[in-house]
Structure 1
Amino acid sequence: MVDVAGKPRPSFALIDCNNCFASVEVLFRPELRGRPVVVLSNNDGCIIARSQEAKALGLKMGEPYFKVRAFLEEHGVVSFSSNYTLYGEVTARVQDTIAGMVPSVEKYSIDESFADLTGLPEPLAEYCRCIQSRVLKWTGMRVGIGIGHTKTLAKAAQHASKVWRDKTGGVVDLRSPHASEWLLKRMPVEEVWGVGRRLKARLADERVQNAWQLSQLDPAGVKRRYNVVLERTVRELRGESCLDLEEAEPDKQSICCSRMFGERITTLAAIKAAVATYVDRAAGKLRKQSSLAGHLQVGIQTSFHGEGAKYARSIVCALPYPTDDVRVLTASAMRGLEEIFRVGFKYSKAEVLLMDLRKRGEFTADLFSPEQPPAADSVMAVLDQINAKWGRGTLRPAAVAADPRWAMRRSLLSPSYLTDINQLWKVKAI
């Protein structure tokens, strides 16, 4: 397929792991094949992933675990706490496999990748089935693939590959006008990438109920009434590529580390240990993208559900200079925490936010402003090297608790089969 200038039209694919988290759990527990499986959110709060068998039982995303626990036990549903380390390792192998078969690839989420298929030999649908086959053979994971002339149409095609998986084999090519029109007329507008439920009501006022009706709107008018983002979505639905592949993941403009505690905290010492842990994780991400933080915000709060006094407060902490030194960041966070902590509350959550990020070597500091000393750079480099070799947390600030009581509750956690030598997959001889 070529455009008016005789150049090949862009062709994109969105490749998504089917029921990713649940599929990874079953991958290492083959005796669970055919049984319903669910994965729970942090602190085993609610359902965030379901196998096909669990979906068939009517289980919904976001259902609180405590409400459906009896139902799960009654129907033999196997539940797991979320094991993001394991999921990240498996999906990284999936993405590496994909990257070896396409000209370029963009990691969109932990289990989704956009691939540029422009210029590859036709039929692309058959080539994508080869990708499916190799990913399954090399990683054990099944993927669905949507193909389109734009990233938005590829996303829509991938959605169709899930809905009609049995008929399509998990590959849908939406590049022909007939196929695109057929699907968009059957796709609710809130399912369109970038639209969601927030715009559903406003679009309904314009009698826009499905993706096809959205594509027929005048892009310039959409830009005036809504925004440039929705205008691009309309153009993409029409087959005009407005979104390029981002091969390099863009640097974060802020870095947040936030967790619900496994149990309520009432003492300043315990909250300090939690916040120090979150600062350590956020600072590691900051150094990984070679950035420095200009400000830090720390916040704490109680649960806003149930009985008990309610309290929430955050504070922006000044830093002596833009820094990625976990020692400086932790000291600043501790001072801020002492200001906002109040005795007599049962705290359920803490948050650390690194803000005003600037890239090393890409900003000019004031001539008379202090800068991070070179010795701090050396210490942080050694810290990262040791943790990269021996595992996260091998070397950490003294304020970080090794095994805190308030750590995230994960009573149904599966082993880290691929990242911990003490938890390797064991095969018993018969």
Structure 2
Amino acid sequence: MAVYALVDCNNFYVSCERVFNPALEGKPVIVMSNNDGCAVARSAEAKIIGVDMAAPAFKLRHLVESHGLVMLSSNYALYGDMSERVMSVLATFSPGAEVYSIDECFLDLDGLPVDDLTAWSQQIRATVRRWTGIPVSVGIGSTKTLAKLANRLAKKSKKANGALDLTGNPKWVEAALKQTPVGDVWGIGRQYAAHCGVNGICTAYDLTLQSDGWIKKTMGAVGLRTVMELRGTPVHTLDTAPSDRQTTCCSRSFGEAVEGFDQVRDAVVTFASRAAEKIRGQGLVAGALQVFAYTDRFRPDQPQFSLNSLIRLSPPTSSTPHIIGAALRGLETSWRDGYGYKKAGVILVDLVRPEDIPRDLFSQPQDAGVKPKALMAAVDGINSKLGKGAVGYGFAPKDAPWQMRCDNRTPSYTTSWDELPVVKA
């Protein structure tokens, strides 16, 4: 019988911050999005005082004085590193693991010699907390969808204490389905949930009672697979070897709108460099590049414009100089003066592995040969050792108006030698 566990980090971004600043324990804390725009992670205490997900930061300022709300800028370098630590711990508990997101991981428990899955789940929680400092919840089910549902209930139920196994008794599954609003089922979007409500389908259990024909007609084949999983029939298997990315994007909203070409150019150079570094780390090359920039759509009182340009990379490459050159050609072709640009970015598309590049008689990869590869390897090695941006292309001052606002960002405790925590005797 198939058995899956979903391990989910609780309030992950906030939990990462609390690992290195225990004084935040018990306090209402939020982590804000890029440019400190809105709340993207909330502690349980922040939820209690009424902080909604995606609430604009400027509407929460009054809670700082009235309720002691702590508002932190996002620190993605820290969160990514802590995620890798958690996932490495989870991999010791099962030979089959699928990292589903930065804070979620599915484990394949089929065939594991475990008699008491609840006790085993509590062991996972204790080990991850002891080794990384991150609290997690564990949900277990006969399908990935039921494991996801069990994890949700494990977080909400004090009796479950962060771990819930739905495989021991069919009545437990029925009770769990009846407690779950249909809109909270993994894979049921807002539109489908609204349609179900109109038809009197309020819970996940109600959904499982519908005919396959009605489900497929109303929600399509994807919806039918979700319902089959709710009924206990495994449809989604563990994806332990995810396929290569087809695209990668590096973009940012600017701290303030900028009109000058030189400033947008500097931002595009930075984004193109980062995107090239990302695909090299994945062993891929790009066949095309898209560069874009647009004005602030939330300011209808200002002139609006969006530039977008697609440049073919022939032959495909991961070379930073070639990718920057193509991005700048696209930017120059589409540029229009007189607009305040609020966001820009670079998207690399048609990603393939070098050995899969279609060959012809007249060209070779732009980054072929010993010197180009050695140059990129040297740059990546230095940046890995000394920190992102230690060696780069162009000029990107930290006080440039297009740089993101992150006034409340905590140190990179685990990824920068200069910001390592110091223990004082």
Give the aligned residue type for 2:181: P
Partner residue in 2 for 1:401:
396
* Offset of residue 221 of structure 1: 5.0
How many residues matched? 419
Does the 8 Å CA contact 1:102/1:117 hold for their aligned counterparts?
A: yes
Does the 8 Å CA contact 1:302/1:310 hold for their aligned counterparts?
A: yes
CA RMSD of aligned residues (A): 1.7
* Offset of residue 146 of structure 1: 0.3
Partner residue in 2 for 1:267:
260
Range that drifts further, 201-210 or 333-342: 201-210
Partner residue in 1 for 2:343:
349
- Which structure 2 residues correspond to residues 141-160 of structure 1 after superposition, within 5 A? 141-160=134-153
Give the aligned residue type for 2:23: E
Partner residue in 2 for 1:12:
4
1:286 alignment partner, SS class:
helix
Range that drifts further, 98-107 or 361-370: 361-370
Q: Which runs of 5+ in 1 are unaligned?
A: 1-8
Partner residue in 2 for 1:392:
388
* Offset of residue 215 of structure 1: 2.1
Partner residue in 1 for 2:165:
173
Q: CA separation of 1:68/1:219 partners in 2, compared to 1, >3 Å: closer, same or farther?
A: same
1:99 to 70, 91, 98: 91
Partner residue in 1 for 2:320:
326
Q: CA separation of 1:362/1:219 partners in 2, compared to 1, >3 Å: closer, same or farther?
A: farther
The CA distance in 2 between the partners of 1:32 and 1:389, in whole Å, is: 30
The CA distance in 1 between the partners of 2:386 and 2:17, in whole Å, is: 25
Note if 1:411 corresponds to 2:407: yes
Partner residue in 1 for 2:111:
119
Q: Which runs of 5+ in 2 are unaligned?
A: none
Does the 8 Å CA contact 2:192/2:219 hold for their aligned counterparts?
A: no
Does the 8 Å CA contact 1:217/1:234 hold for their aligned counterparts?
A: no
Give the aligned residue type for 2:407: S
Partner residue in 2 for 1:235:
228
Does the 8 Å CA contact 1:219/1:235 hold for their aligned counterparts?
A: no
Does the 8 Å CA contact 1:299/1:315 hold for their aligned counterparts?
A: yes
The CA distance in 2 between the partners of 1:183 and 1:134, in whole Å, is: 27
2:99 alignment partner, SS class:
strand
**1:260-314 deviations in whole A, cap 9, x for unaligned?**
0112111101101101111111111211222221111111111011332111121
1:277 alignment partner, SS class:
helix
- Which structure 2 residues correspond to residues 168-207 of structure 1 after superposition, within 5 A? 168-175=160-167, 176-207=169-200
1:308 alignment partner, SS class:
coil
1:239 alignment partner, SS class:
coil
The CA distance in 1 between the partners of 2:362 and 2:227, in whole Å, is: 50
* Offset of residue 220 of structure 1: 5.5
Partner residue in 1 for 2:156:
163
Q: Percent identity?
A: 41
1:185 alignment partner, SS class:
helix
Does the 8 Å CA contact 1:36/1:76 hold for their aligned counterparts?
A: yes
Give the aligned residue type for 1:163: K
Q: CA separation of 1:359/1:227 partners in 2, compared to 1, >3 Å: closer, same or farther?
A: farther
2:355 to 353, 361, 366: 361
* Offset of residue 69 of structure 1: 0.7
Give the aligned residue type for 2:325: A
* Offset of residue 15 of structure 1: 0.5
* Offset of residue 74 of structure 1: 1.9
The CA distance in 2 between the partners of 1:233 and 1:277, in whole Å, is: 41
**1:218-273 deviations in whole A, cap 9, x for unaligned?**
34553454332222111111111111111233321111112101121111011011
**1:156-205 deviations in whole A, cap 9, x for unaligned?**
001111121x2111001112321111111121111111112132223334
Give the aligned residue type for 2:84: A
The CA distance in 2 between the partners of 1:363 and 1:320, in whole Å, is: 10
Does the 8 Å CA contact 1:151/1:241 hold for their aligned counterparts?
A: yes
TM-score, scaled relative to structure 1: 0.93
Q: CA separation of 1:270/1:116 partners in 2, compared to 1, >3 Å: closer, same or farther?
A: same
Range that drifts further, 379-388 or 239-248: 379-388
- Which structure 2 residues correspond to residues 246-395 of structure 1 after superposition, within 5 A? 246-306=239-299, 307-372=301-366, 373-374=368-369, 375-395=371-391
Give the aligned residue type for 2:338: G
TM-score, scaled relative to structure 2: 0.94
The CA distance in 2 between the partners of 1:352 and 1:402, in whole Å, is: 19
The CA distance in 2 between the partners of 1:300 and 1:66, in whole Å, is: 25
Note if 1:422 corresponds to 2:414: no
* Offset of residue 87 of structure 1: 1.4
Give the aligned residue type for 2:423: V
Does the 8 Å CA contact 2:142/2:232 hold for their aligned counterparts?
A: yes
2:30 alignment partner, SS class:
strand
Partner residue in 2 for 1:6:
none
The CA distance in 2 between the partners of 1:238 and 1:419, in whole Å, is: 44
The CA distance in 2 between the partners of 1:74 and 1:274, in whole Å, is: 38
Range that drifts further, 371-380 or 189-198: 371-380
2:19 to 15, 24, 27: 27
The CA distance in 1 between the partners of 2:422 and 2:374, in whole Å, is: 40
